[in-house]
């Protein structure tokens, strides 16, 4: 491998050119993102890992605004991404009553079915 020596002026020219290339790449990325302002059903289902029926239910309930062009549905990508950032609504947890004490101990279980084969074999 050979070492390449640059003068300060040449070095500044290379750095300037690299900055220009970086700006070009950034602008291309921004343009490509603007083209993808809307998601269709397939893209939305893949992004959120949901079924077609789930997306349809969200549309009908009004939770997912859409635009219909012809026979296809489109959803605003910004809105969908904002929903993902918000996260799901918190679940309401119902407190379960504590288990009542029973006379059954040491893992024994009471047989409640008189027709159970085990019950018949033991003649209980």
pLDDT at 92: 63
Q: Is the model's pLDDT at 25 over the cut of 90?
A: no
With b for 16 or more beta-carbon neighbours within 10 A and e for fewer, the 78-107 pattern comes to eebeeeeeeeeeeeeeeeeeeeeeeeeeee
pLDDT at 106: 57
> pLDDT tens digits for 99-122?
665 555 555 666 566 666 666 666
Helix pair 77-86, 41-48: axis angle to 10 deg = 20
Q: What token pair was written down for 107?
A: 């893992």
Residue for token pair 């239910």: 57
Query: In which band, very low, low, confident or very high, does the pLDDT at 66 lie, cut at 50, 70 and 90?
Result: very high
pLDDT at 123: 61
Burial class (CB in 10 A: 0-12, 13-18, 19+), 45: middle
pLDDT at 78: 82
């Amino acid at each position: 491998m050979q070492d390449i020596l640059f003068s300060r002026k040449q070095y500044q020219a290379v750095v300037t050119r690299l900055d220009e290339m970086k700006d070009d790449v950034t602008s291309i990325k921004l343009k490509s993102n603007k083209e993808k302002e809307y998601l269709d059903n397939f893209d939305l289902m893949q992004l959120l890992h949901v079924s077609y029926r789930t997306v349809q239910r969200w549309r009908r309930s009004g939770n997912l605004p859409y635009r219909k062009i012809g026979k296809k549905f489109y959803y605003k990508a910004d809105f969908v991404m904002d929903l993902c950032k918000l996260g799901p609504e918190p679940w309401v947890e119902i407190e379960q009553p504590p288990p009542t004490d029973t006379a059954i101990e040491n893992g024994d279980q009471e047989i409640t079915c008189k027709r159970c084969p085990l019950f018949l074999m033991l003649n209980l």
